[in-house]
Amino acid sequence: MRVLLQRVRQSSVLVDGAVKGAIAQGYLLLVGAEDSDTSEQVDYLVHKITKLRVFEDEAGKMNQSIEDVDGSILSVSQFTLYANTKKGNRPSFVAAGDPAHAEKIYNEFNEKLAATGRHVETGVFGADMRVALINAGPVTIWFDTDDK
C-alpha cells in the first residue's frame, strides 16, 4: 500500500459538483493499493498514521499525534500513486491493484481508521474527484508498505 499524507487545516472532496467529504484540521490521505496488499499492511499503516507526531505542541515542536489534537481524516483513493514513469512520457499503472481488490483494501483501511476513534470522511472509490486542501506547514509524508 502507498499513502501520501498531508497535514491540513481543511480539506474537501467533490464528486459531480457535490461535497462527498470534508474535514477541518487533520490529514488528507491519498491512498493506493496493489494486488499483494493484505490486512497486515492496512494495520501497519493505520498504526503509523494515527500515532505519527506531526502536530505542534505548546513549544512549537512537532510532537503531537492526530489523536492528541482530535483531528479528522479525509481519505481519498488514488491508483496513480502506483504510476511508473521509467519509460516514455505516458505513465503506466500496471502495478496498481485490481479495482475490486483495491476497493476492498481501501474500505478496510477507512474502517480501521474510524475504529481508532478518528472522524473519517472519504471520497468515492473510482470516481473523478476534485480535492481541495489548505496544507498546514506544509507537512507531506510518504508511506509505502514495501519499505517498512
User: Which positions are catalytic?
Assistant: 78-80
**C-beta separation of 34 from 82 below 8 A:** yes
Q: Which three cell numbers stand for residue 103?
A: 476497493
